[in-house]
Amino acid sequence: MHALVTGGAGFIGSHLVDRLLEEGHRVTVVDDLSTGSRANLEAARLSGGDRLAVRVADVAAADLDAMMAGDPPEVVFHLAAQISVRASVADPVADATANVVGTVNLLEAARRQGVAKVVNTTSGGCVYGEPARADLPVTERYPGEPHSPYGVSKLAAEQYLATFDSLHGLARLAARAGLDVVGAGQRLWPPPGPPRRGGRGVDLCWRDGARRRGRDLRRR
């Protein structure tokens, strides 16, 4: 299988690339490296060889049609995104461009190139807003009422995904990742602030079993 992974040089994306290559697939990574890093793909380059291709591009602005033409992927994994709630409040236009326009640009290219399926990674929390206590725990069918531009943009991307499925038969899956995805290669962005008054700060469990404070986890 040939898979295209947007945001493949990021934390989650690079782990997905490693797994796809491990299973024998060919992978094309599309990443603008604004928050991702080539260093996250070093192991993939060694194990994948010529089964790995990396394209440095912004999915919201790139000619993805031309990028896919001639060797279209069977499956697209869409992880490229603006992921900061704080940044989305400060600049909602940039947030919508990355998360909504980027997704639509990708879906249009996928449709035209005959891609079989798009798997979109979205928010496991911000799309819901703040559910009433009586509604907890919520399921994926809970009606989203986001309280930030980031949540709105991620929910809009999900809805575009469903619309392309309905109109064009582009199979899709929206994967709402949990709020606290941690592991090797993580880079906290934006950097964590000081602990709240009376609080202890962030204490995270790493894959190797070690526990480290949030401020010590600024790795790319």
- Same domain, yes or no: 19 and 119: yes
Residues 199 and 157 occupy one common structural domain: no
Q: Mean pLDDT, the chain, as a whole number?
A: 86
Same domain as 195, residue 128: no
**Do residues 14 and 110 share a domain?**
yes
Would you call the peptide bond into 146 cis, given omega within 30 degrees of 0 as the criterion? no
Whether residues 25 and 43 fall in one domain: yes
pLDDT band at 181 (very low <50, low <70, confident <90, very high): confident
Over residues 9-38, mean pLDDT: 96
- For 10, half-sphere exposure in the C-beta direction (CA atoms, 13 angstrom radius) is 23
Domain count, the chain: 2
CA–CA separation, 63 and 137 (whole Å): 41
110: which strand partners? Answer: none
pLDDT of the residue at 197:
42
Per the listing, tokens 């909602």 go with 92
Residue 77 · residue 3 · CB < 8 Å: yes
Together in a domain, 125 and 189: no
Burial environment of residue 133 by CB neighbours within 10 A (0 to 12, 13 to 18, 19 or more): exposed
Contact present, 102 and 59 (Cβ < 8 Å): yes
76 and 48 in one domain?
yes
Q: Are residues 175 and 194 in the same domain?
A: no
Do 96 and 191 lie in one domain? The reply is no
Choose the weakest-confidence range: 139-153, 159-173, 203-217.
203-217
Q: Is residue 38 over pLDDT 70?
A: yes
Q: Same structural domain for residues 197 and 126?
A: no
Q: Output the CA angle 38-39-43, nearest 5 degrees.
A: 105
Chain segment 124-134, per-residue pLDDT in tens = 888 888 888 88
The CATH number of whichever domain residue 60 belongs to comes to: 3.40.50.720
Residues 200 and 94 in one domain: no
Question: How sure is the predictor about 193, in pLDDT bands with cuts at 50, 70 and 90?
Answer: very low
User: Is 206 a residue whose pLDDT tops 50?
Assistant: no
- pLDDT at residue 100 is higher than 80: yes
Question: Do 98 and 157 reside in the same domain of the chain?
Answer: yes
- pLDDT score of 187: 67
Residues recognised as catalytic: 150
Q: 52-61, 80-89, 134-143: which has the minimum mean pLDDT?
A: 134-143
Structure tokens of 16? 């997905």
Higher pLDDT, 194 or 77: 77
Q: Is the peptide bond before 137 cis (omega within 30 degrees of 0)?
A: yes
Domain with 201, as residue range(s), is: 185-220
- Listed in sequence order, the DSSP H helices in the chain are 11-22, 42-48, 64-68, 85-90, 92-96, 102-112, 149-168
Neighbour-count burial for 136-165, b at 16+ CB within 10 Å, e otherwise: eeeeeeeebebebbbbbbbbbbbebbeebb
Percent of the chain having pLDDT more than 90?
Answer: 68
Residues 6 or more apart in contact with residue 8 via CB below 8 angstroms: 14, 16, 17, 27, 29, 30, 31, 36, 41, 54, 77, 79
Q: Is the pTM of this model over 0.85?
A: no
